[in-house]
Structure 1
Amino acid sequence: MHWISLNTPEQVKLIKEANGYSLIFKHSTRCSISLMAKKHFELDWETIPENTPLYFLDLIAHRDISALIAETFQVHHESPQVLLIKDGECVLDLSHSDISAEEIVESITA
């Protein structure tokens, strides 16, 4: 698995228009809690189906994209935050210690 850098409005539009699942991980590079959530998630991310694109957003570098994501998917901004998108709609919104690859897999396979 690997991260896809999320840094343009066009990418957000593609995620919104995509069929199937996409995952967005919103990360603050200045926050130790965000770093721990990211590391914990990456320990188990191999359980996520390989055909699920994993987008990584650096909130510090791309605050505008974070605001666009919140507006597009009608979610409250948090950091760290994981959004599971299915067919253009946010179906799972996790933040801080609730971020779990296991819960994401359960949502995808349910």
Structure 2
Amino acid sequence: MEKLESIEQFEITLKENPRFFFLKHSLTCPISQAAFEEYESFAKQHEELNFYYLAVQEARPLSNHIAETFQVKHESPQALLFNQESVAWHASHWKITEDTLAKAVEE
């Protein structure tokens, strides 16, 4: 898992990775902490996929950029699956589990 903090880092990631997961994570929310743990556990079991995240409090411009560019309402926590520079799937809050992440990969 790699933490991204800038729009520039994200744009490079988007161009270099045809498919990857991304998590918007709040450092102060217990729901977000639970989602982060699910995301991290799933990432450890699926090393063939790329996983990135941001901390909303530290990277608000990037978080807003993603919401505006891909027209996905900002939520935190929020998991997104990017495929060919588009959002193929997203979920938020308690819907971010290892099971839902696995189903997103299968779709």
TM-score normalised by L of structure 1: 0.84
Within-5 A mapping of 1:1-110: 3-48=1-46, 50-110=47-107
1:46 is matched by which residue type in structure 2?
K
CA pair 52-43 structure 1, distance change in 2 beyond 3 A: closer
C-alpha RMSD of the superposition:
1.7
Identity fraction in percent: 32
Q: More displaced, 78-87 or 64-73? A: 64-73
Distance, in Å, in 2 between the alignment partners of 1:25 and 1:85 is 11
For the Cα contact (< 8 Å) 2:6–2:61, is it kept in 1?
no
- Aligned length in residues: 107
TM-score normalised by L of structure 2: 0.86
Q: Report the 3-state secondary structure (helix = DSSP H, G, I; strand = E; otherwise coil) of the residue aligned with 1:76.
A: coil
**1:13-48 deviation digits (Å, cap 9, x = unpaired):** 123324531111110101111112212333333343
Q: More displaced, 96-105 or 26-35? A: 96-105
Unaligned ranges ≥5, structure 2: none
For the Cα contact (< 8 Å) 1:47–1:102, is it kept in 2?
no
CA pair 15-97 structure 1, distance change in 2 beyond 3 A: same
Unaligned ranges ≥5, structure 1: none
For the Cα contact (< 8 Å) 2:42–2:101, is it kept in 1?
no
